[in-house]
Structure 1
Amino acid sequence: MLDNTARQLQPEEEALVQQPEPQPKPQVTAAPAAAPLAVPFSAFEKGLALLAGVLAVAVSIFCLFSQNQLANTQRQYEDVQSAITTQTQKINNYKQSIGELSNSERLSAFAKEHGLTVVDGNIKRVSK
């Protein structure tokens, strides 16, 4: 009744089957592989490759030309912006000078120095 659950099945057959002895493998000398033959390009393929090369060079030159034009345009834009800023500053300075020169107290003092009288009816104001 006490059987071992881990038992070998058919022990007689294993004893009958013998492991064959490994036979020495014959040494095979590898022959050098034949070099693959190059397939020549057809005239159409050569022309297509040439066209692709010319197209790549043309696109590269176009990109360089475009970058140069963009840089020049950017420089011109900055120059115009600088000129606009300069002119705006000049205009503001002129407006300030006009405001200082047309001050009524200054005009009255100038008139008194030169013996002039101010007639308010003759004064015209210009405003925007």
Structure 2
Amino acid sequence: MAQNNLASSNQEEVYFSREPKRNRQQNYNSNINVFSLKFSKFEKVSLILGLFLVFSLMIILVSSKVSLGDASNNLHETVSNLNKTHSDNNNLKQQVGELQNSNRLQKIANKSGLSLSNDNVRNVVK
């Protein structure tokens, strides 16, 4: 019991010891003059120009990304068309080679009643 009374009396002292500190702190705060700085015209103009520049660069960046994406799609489409044309050309070259086969030409000539005389054939080299 004696200890409980001692603890409660210490708590009261602690409580009362805080009050004077608050008063001192309030006195210090009342002595401080608080004022705000105003922006000059130059600072306002430079801030507005800076924000305008940042937003302009953001818009330019987004538009350039969009145009880059479009160009990439166009390039992909062009490469696909080129590959298709290349394969078509190879197929046509193969067909030309098959149509120019000498055995095939000889069969067509025989059907038409024509003959091939080796004496009449000349090889021309450019």
Verify same fold: TM over 0.5. yes
1:102–1:63 distance in 2 versus 1, CA, 3 Å: same
> Residue in 1 aligned with 2:34?
36
Is the helix fraction higher in 1 or 2? 2
Structure-2 residue corresponding to 1:75: 73
Of 82, 99, 118 in structure 2, the residue corresponding to residue 101 of structure 1 is 99
Residue from 87, 90, 95 that aligns with 1:89: 87
Q: TM-score, normalised by structure 2?
A: 0.69
Residue 27 (str. 1) matches residue 25 (str. 2):
no
CA–CA distance in structure 1, aligned partners of residues 90 and 112 of structure 2: 30
User: Counterpart of 1:9?
Assistant: none
How far apart, CA to CA, are the structure 1 residues paired with 2:125 and 2:73? 40
Alignment CA distance shift 1:67-1:48 (3 Å): same
Q: Which string of whole-angstrom CA distances, capped at 9 and with x for unpartnered residues, describes residues 25-59 of structure 1?
A: 68232317357322111111111100000000111
Which residue of structure 2 aligns with residue 110 of structure 1? 108
What value does the CA root-mean-square deviation take over the aligned residues? 2.7
In structure 2, C-alpha distance between the alignment counterparts of 1:35 and 1:82, rounded to whole Å: 74
* 3-state secondary structure, aligned to 1:100: helix
Which consecutive unaligned segments of at least 5 residues does structure 2 have? Answer: 1-16
The 3-state SS of whatever aligns with 2:78 is helix
Number of residues of Structure 1 aligned to a counterpart in Structure 2: 104
Alignment-mate amino acid for residue 20 of structure 2 = Q
